[in-house]
Amino acid sequence: MDDLEAATGIDDYCMNIYLIQALSGNLTASLSKYQDLLDDDYDQKFGWYEEAVRKSAPDNLQSFLKANDTLYFDCIQSGDVDSFKNHTDKGCVHDKGLGDSVNVYWSVYNKTQFENDLAAKTGISSMTPVRYG
């Protein structure tokens, strides 16, 4: 404020009026630009973004789960030599990835924290459908 007063020579008691006028003009221009974006097929453009997020979700989800699965889930794995239950040092995601000859059964014990962390770290919300295959 001091720099603005020094640069313009406007007294403190008048500065608020000038600032409000400038901010009002800025707000009006921003709202107008926002409305122009909405009027110019914004929904279609958002669809492209949504599709890109959905396509990247399986890879992001698998990476997140491989690093953090035991923080939220207990798991039972069977189908290979290393069958185990709740073997947290191995995790729930098989080294070869999801969906191999190993059967993995997941049991969530910290659902709310999982959903919050997943959304914060990957952008995937619990409402985002994710398909493998």
What count of residues does the chain have? 133
CB 90 within 8 A of CB 23: no
Predicted confidence at residue 5, as pLDDT, reads 67
Tokens encoding 76: 């039972």
Is this prediction's pTM over 0.85?
no
Q: Count structural domains, the chain.
A: 2
| Other C-beta atoms lying within 10 Å of the C-beta of residue 98 | 16
Do 106 and 55 share a domain, yes or no? yes
Tokens encoding 123: 């952008």
Do 51 and 86 share a domain, yes or no? yes
CB 75 within 8 A of CB 106: yes
Do 77 and 99 share a domain, yes or no? yes
Range of the domain at 113: 42-122
CB 119 within 8 A of CB 125: yes
The one-digit pLDDT tens for each residue of the chain (133 residues) are 667 667 777 777 787 888 888 889 999 999 999 888 878 877 777 777 778 777 777 788 888 888 888 888 887 777 655 555 555 555 666 555 544 566 777 788 888 898 899 889 887 776 655 454 4
Do 22 and 81 share a domain, yes or no? no
